[in-house]
């Protein structure tokens, strides 16, 4: 049955080539024998397909050429190096045209060294990391080298992987490898890394078949991107165990390096959420492979890369041998490993393999692995690799791009960006995002459940973060579930434990997809996770308590002058009054004629009594003047000096009174954050471990660094665990503590607590963003949603709602307006003392008036010889008659 199948296959090939009529009459016995040696691995699990490929290829060669190819297929153990050397030396004694294989590098060194010394054509079909060739072997006295490797070399494969890692924007990843050759295969990935990228983690799988201990260690790390470098027959087992330890979840990405992973059965991995990408050299959909599949009667999934490479190697060799035979008769002579002779045909074939004749056509259909070209060292160049990934809609892989070794830094993608975005949109619509947040108004607030009822899910919460996520999901048509971070922290890195806490740690542990709250985008956090574009822009500012407006004292009008000045002024008033009285009595010009009509009066009168002198000085200092004026020079000089003193004192009091009233309204003792650094009476701090703390800790600005030193050295500590604790401390510290926090949080607090105020402007600029795991595939969609909300004004409306409308917002703005309107007014408390002075003065005057009135009544009673009551009654009657303008003086009878 198998012979019939082979015959049918040969006939089909000949029919396809159109050469049946020309070769049917050839007599096999007249053909020249051509010995070739094919080394295979004894433990190869696809030897049957390789055997079919070899037999079919040799039968076609026998039919289409004049050569009777005699193959020697020799399976060898991978570690039988000495046996391989003996076998090669025994075979070349009979004359060998070419040697193919082996399939692995274990026994290749002895074979390659022998073929190099004997100048025999040697075709390798595996990834050779232990080549014995060097620059001196490329070209010597006998011509170019005769060893060719059809397998892509390590440097090119490494460049392909490096380009794939770069295009996927992997900032950090873990290399899971099976043997040490992986480090050579991935050297370009490591070489192209940037200095600020995270360190690549390497994990060796071990002997197996149980790899779960290693995979659990990887699970505990923060990486979600992996390069899996192991044999194709081990890949599925590794991934099954990775699925068991939760390493095939959302956001996990794998790059598989083996070129045969596409031939595996991926049915059980159809529904996995992780992304699996691989590379392959064979295109199953190519015309050549489709024709070969029909001829060999095998499934294309069973055609391994090594089989295709061996087939292509036979094709390259026999085509070159044919081209050589058209110009010269090749002689395949026996060789001796111990001798000094080398083959005559090897160098010529090597030249034709590197530079085939123009118009030369391949004898066999193909090639199966794409165009075949070699460089001077015999390494394959200018080949293509297909980039494939597990399809989400059907079993198996789909082609997403192509990589060419001549353009190593570029991948030609088959899936367009628009198609990717449409796929992501469909995935988002089917996804429920786990959102973690931190409790704190107005971002996340617990709802009070109705009596007798319980709240579940998102109904337990309300706030800005919930509304923001709702608007985003309205745009993206997705769903979400909120939860509170257990430790109540934003997220900071502990260098001792080497782990993140808070929201960032929650994301890195894959317990949530997104973190939405007042989470500041910082450099350190950005290295650990990704952020969307900021949905709110803010900066650090100072929260301080308003000045407590103390009620003014009753005699506050006396505050512009000190008590000493008041006492000195009163003393000066009495002294100058006595001086004016004395100078007036000494100065003759102040003695006046009481009767101006009498030019020669018998007596002179002096009006400057002590009462009048005190009245003059009192009127002057009160800026009211007096109708009594001195006439003597000395008296006027003393009075003028007093007037000057009164002028200065009165104007000084007026000016200082205005300044005093102004200062009484100025409550703040600091105007900006820089003022805190230049004083030590007011303590200041921030949230420990937050972004504000990191800003002052890492700043290079001298003033802010000085502030950090003062905060760090303060005792007791000035750091608080949350913004709420900082606000309470500001309120309870009686203006002895200021709190540094984000301006948006300050704005929220000052809208509700009118005893608080923001001091100065912002000392930096930052933004709140939605945190997500690194390389989050939906990041662009979220950015577009936030940008759309910004353009529609939704972000502004949400802030207005939760800052100035909900939960008591906007209360303090009304009070600020009322205070501004009354800023120029003085209350009764400010001038109450003046009224008291007026009342006291009037009361004293009335008391003196009553005393004078009683004294006058007593005098009248004595003078008129009437009783005191009668005189009092008569005088009171006259006093109460307000229309009486003249008073009759009574005389004794």
3-class secondary structure, 747: helix
Q: Which residue reads 């000052």 in tokens?
A: 750
CA-to-CA separations, 886 to 34, 36, 600, 872, 879, in angstroms, rounded: 165, 160, 33, 18, 11
Identify the H or E element spanning 148. strand 147-149
Q: Which letter does DSSP use for residue 264 in this model?
A: S
3-class secondary structure, 768: strand
Q: Is the peptide bond before 113 cis (omega within 30 degrees of 0)?
A: no
Q: Which residue reads 């030897």 in tokens?
A: 47
Pair 129, 108: CB distance under 8 Å: no
Question: Which residues carry a binding-site annotation for L-glutamate?
Answer: 520, 525, 691-692, 742
User: 747-784 burial, b if ≥16 CB within 10 A, otherwise e?
Assistant: bbbbbbbeebbbbbebbbebbbbbbbbbbbbbbebbeb
Pair 515, 771: CB distance under 8 Å: yes
What are the residues whose beta carbons fall under 8 Å from the beta carbon of 624, sequence distance 6 or more? none
What are the residues whose beta carbons fall under 8 Å from the beta carbon of 238, sequence distance 6 or more? 176, 205, 211, 215, 228, 230
Q: What is the predicted pLDDT for the residue at 828?
A: 63
- CA pair distance 60, 291, nearest whole angstrom: 14
- CA pair distance 655, 560, nearest whole angstrom: 9
pLDDT digits (tens, 9 = 90+) for 677-730: 888 888 999 998 888 888 898 888 888 999 999 999 988 899 998 888 999 999
Let me know if domain 2-151+288-379 sits in CATH 3.40.50.2300: yes
- CA pair distance 328, 324, nearest whole angstrom: 6
Domain ranges of the chain: 2-151+288-379, 154-280+385-415, 424-528+780-806, 556-665, 830-880
CATH number listed for the domain at residues 556-665? 1.10.287
CA angle 367–371–372, rounded 5-degree value: 90
Let me know if domain 154-280+385-415 sits in CATH 3.20.20.210: no
Q: What is the predicted pLDDT for the residue at 435?
A: 95
Q: Which letter does DSSP use for residue 339 in this model?
A: S
Q: What is the predicted pLDDT for the residue at 1?
A: 34
Q: What is the predicted pLDDT for the residue at 20?
A: 35
- CA pair distance 45, 32, nearest whole angstrom: 34
- CA pair distance 881, 476, nearest whole angstrom: 95
Q: What is the predicted pLDDT for the residue at 29?
A: 46
3-class secondary structure, 542: strand
Q: What is the predicted pLDDT for the residue at 374?
A: 93
DSSP 80-105: -HHHHHHHHHHHHTT--SEEE--SSS
Q: What is the predicted pLDDT for the residue at 380?
A: 92
Q: Which residue reads 């001549």 in tokens?
A: 406
Q: What is the predicted pLDDT for the residue at 763?
A: 87
Q: What is the predicted pLDDT for the residue at 502?
A: 92
- CA pair distance 765, 114, nearest whole angstrom: 70
Token pair in block for residue 198: 């995270």
Q: What is the predicted pLDDT for the residue at 849?
A: 75
pLDDT digits (tens, 9 = 90+) for 29-74: 467 888 999 988 776 555 677 888 888 888 888 888 888 888 888 8
- CA pair distance 524, 689, nearest whole angstrom: 12
Three-class SS of 470-517:
HHHHHHHCCEEEEEECCCCCCCCEECCCCEECHHHHHHHCCCCCEECC
- CA pair distance 381, 363, nearest whole angstrom: 22
Largest CA distance in the chain: 191
- CA pair distance 783, 767, nearest whole angstrom: 14
Q: Which residue reads 């024998």 in tokens?
A: 33
Q: What is the CA radius of gyration of the chain?
A: 52
Q: Is the peptide bond before 209 cis (omega within 30 degrees of 0)?
A: yes
Task: Give every residue of the chain whose pLDDT is below 50, as ranges.
Answer: 1-29, 132, 136, 141, 667, 817-818, 820-824, 893
- CA pair distance 388, 397, nearest whole angstrom: 6
Same fold, 2-151+288-379 and 154-280+385-415: yes
User: 834-844 burial, b if ≥16 CB within 10 A, otherwise e?
Assistant: eeeeeeeeeee
Q: What is the predicted pLDDT for the residue at 293?
A: 82
User: Which superfamily is assigned to 424-528+780-806 in CATH?
Assistant: Periplasmic binding protein-like II (3.40.190.10)
- CA pair distance 843, 833, nearest whole angstrom: 15
- CA pair distance 580, 611, nearest whole angstrom: 11
Pair 760, 541: CB distance under 8 Å: yes
Residue among 546, 542, 544 nearest 743 (CA): 542
What are the residues whose beta carbons fall under 8 Å from the beta carbon of 155, sequence distance 6 or more? 187, 188
Question: Which residues carry a binding-site annotation?
Answer: 520, 525, 691-692, 742
Residue among 739, 761, 738, 735 nearest 546 (CA): 735
User: 559-578 burial, b if ≥16 CB within 10 A, otherwise e?
Assistant: ebbeeeeeeeeeebbeebbe
Pair 311, 101: CB distance under 8 Å: no
- CA pair distance 499, 173, nearest whole angstrom: 17
Q: What is the predicted pLDDT for the residue at 893?
A: 45
- CA pair distance 155, 405, nearest whole angstrom: 10
- CA pair distance 737, 93, nearest whole angstrom: 97
What are the residues whose beta carbons fall under 8 Å from the beta carbon of 32, sequence distance 6 or more? 66, 67, 68
- Cα atoms in the Cβ-side hemisphere of radius 13 Å centred on 864: 18
What are the residues whose beta carbons fall under 8 Å from the beta carbon of 50, sequence distance 6 or more? 40, 44, 304, 306, 307, 310
């Amino acid at each position: 049955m198998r012979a019939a199948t082979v015959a049918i296959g040969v006939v089909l090939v000949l029919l396809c080539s159109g050469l049946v009529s020309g070769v049917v009459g050839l007599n096999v016995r007249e053909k020249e024998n051509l010995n070739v040696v094919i080394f295979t691995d004894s433990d190869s699990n696809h030897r049957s397909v390789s055997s079919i490929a070899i037999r079919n290829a040799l039968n076609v060669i026998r039919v289409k050429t004049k050569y009777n190819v005699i193959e020697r297929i020799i399976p060898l153990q991978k570690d039988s190096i000495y046996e391989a050397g003996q076998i090669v030396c025994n075979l070349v004694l009979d004359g060998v045209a070419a040697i193919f294989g082996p399939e692995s590098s274990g026994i290749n060194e002895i074979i390659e060294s022998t073929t190099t010394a004997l100048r025999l054509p040697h075709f390798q079909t595996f990834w050779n990391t232990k080549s014995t060739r060097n620059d001196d072997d490329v070209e010597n006295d006998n011509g170019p080298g005769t060893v060719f490797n059809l397998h892509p070399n390590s440097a090119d494969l490494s460049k392909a992987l490096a380009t794939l890692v770069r295009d996927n924007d992997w900032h950090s990843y873990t290399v899971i490898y099976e043997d040490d050759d992986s480090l050579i295969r991935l050297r370009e990935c490591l070489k192209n890394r940037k200095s600020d990228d995270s360190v690549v983690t390497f994990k060796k799988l071990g002997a197996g078949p149980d790899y779960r201990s290693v995979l659990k260690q990887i699970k505990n790390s923060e990486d979600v991107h992996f390069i899996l470098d192991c044999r194709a027959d081990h890949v599925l087992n590794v991934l099954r165990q990775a699925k068991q330890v939760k390493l095939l979840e959302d956001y996990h990405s794998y790059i598989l390096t083996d070129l045969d992973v596409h031939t595996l059965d991926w049915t059980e991995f159809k529904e996995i959420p992780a992304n699996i990408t691989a590379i392959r050299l064979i295109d199953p959909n190519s015309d050549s492979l489709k024709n070969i599949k029909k001829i060999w009667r095998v499934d294309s999934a069973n055609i391994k890369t090594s089989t295709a490479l061996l087939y292509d190697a036979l094709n390259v060799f026999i085509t070159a041998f044919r081209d050589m035979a058209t110009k010269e008769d090749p002689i395949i002579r026996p060789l001796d490993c111990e001798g000094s002779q080398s083959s005559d045909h090897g160098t010529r074939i090597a030249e034709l393999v590197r530079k085939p004749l123009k118009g030369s056509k391949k004898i066999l259909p193909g090639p199966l692995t794409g165009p075949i070209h070699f460089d001077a060292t015999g390494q394959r160049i200018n080949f293509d690799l297909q980039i494939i990934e597990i399809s989400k809609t059907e079993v198996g892989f789909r082609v997403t791009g192509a990589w060419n070794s001549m353009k190593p830094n570029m991948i030609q993608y088959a899936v367009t960006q628009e198609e990717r975005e449409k796929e992501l949109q469909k995935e988002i619509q089917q996804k429920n995002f786990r959102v973690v947040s931190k409790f704190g108004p107005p971002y996340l607030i617990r709802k009070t459940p109705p009596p007798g009822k319980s709240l579940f899910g998102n109904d337990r919460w309300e706030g800005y973060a919930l509304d923001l996520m709702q608007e985003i999901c309205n745009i993206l048509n997705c769903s979400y579930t909120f939860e509170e971070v257990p430790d109540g922290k934003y997220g900071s890195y502990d260098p001792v434990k080497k782990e993140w806490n808070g929201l960032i740690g929650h994301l890195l542990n894959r317990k949530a997809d997104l973190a939405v709250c007042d989470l500041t985008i910082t450099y350190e956090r950005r290295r650990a996770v990704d952020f969307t574009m900021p949905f709110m822009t803010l900066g650090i500012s100072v929260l301080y308590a308003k000045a407590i407006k103390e009620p003014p004292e009753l005699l506050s009008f006396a505050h512009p002058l000190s008590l000493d000045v008041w006492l000195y002024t009163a003393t000066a008033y009495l002294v100058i009054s006595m001086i004016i009285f004395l100078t007036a009595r000494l100065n003759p010009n102040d003695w006046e004629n009481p009767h101006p009509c009498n030019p020669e009066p018998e007596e002179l009168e002096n009006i400057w009594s002590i009462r009048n002198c005190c009245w003059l000085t009192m009127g002057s200092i009160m800026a009211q003047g007096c109708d009594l004026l001195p006439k003597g020079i000395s008296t006027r000089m003393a009075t003028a000096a007093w007037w000057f003193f009164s002028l200065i004192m009165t104007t000084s009091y007026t000016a200082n009174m205005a300044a005093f009233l102004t200062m009484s309204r100025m409550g703040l003792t600091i105007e900006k954050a820089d003022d805190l650094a230049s004083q030590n009476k007011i303590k200041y701090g921030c949230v420990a471990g937050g972004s504000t703390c990191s800003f002052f800790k890492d700043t290079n600005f001298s003033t802010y660094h000085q502030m950090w030193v003062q905060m760090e050295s303060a005792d007791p500590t000035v750091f608080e665990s949350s913004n709420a604790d900082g606000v309470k401390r500001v309120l309870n510290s009686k203006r002895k503590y200021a709190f540094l926090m984000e301006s948006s949080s300050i704005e929220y607090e000052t809208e509700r607590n009118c005893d608080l105020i923001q001091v100065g402007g912002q000392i930096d600029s930052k933004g709140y963003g939605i945190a997500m795991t690194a390389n989050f595939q939906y990041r662009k969609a979220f950015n577009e949603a936030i940008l759309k909300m910004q353009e529609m004004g939704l972000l502004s409306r949400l802030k207005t709602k939760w800052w100035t409308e909900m939960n008591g917002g906007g209360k303090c703005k009304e009070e600020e307006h009322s205070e501004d309107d009354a800023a120029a007014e003085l209350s009764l408390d400010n001038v109450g003392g003046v009224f008291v002075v007026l009342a006291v003065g009037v009361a004293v005057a009335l008391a003196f008036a009553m005393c004078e009135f009683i004294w006058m009544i007593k005098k009248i009673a004595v003078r008129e010889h009437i009783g005191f009551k009668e005189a009092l009654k008569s005088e009171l009657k006259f006093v109460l008659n307000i229309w009486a303008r003249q008073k009759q003086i009574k005389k004794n009878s």
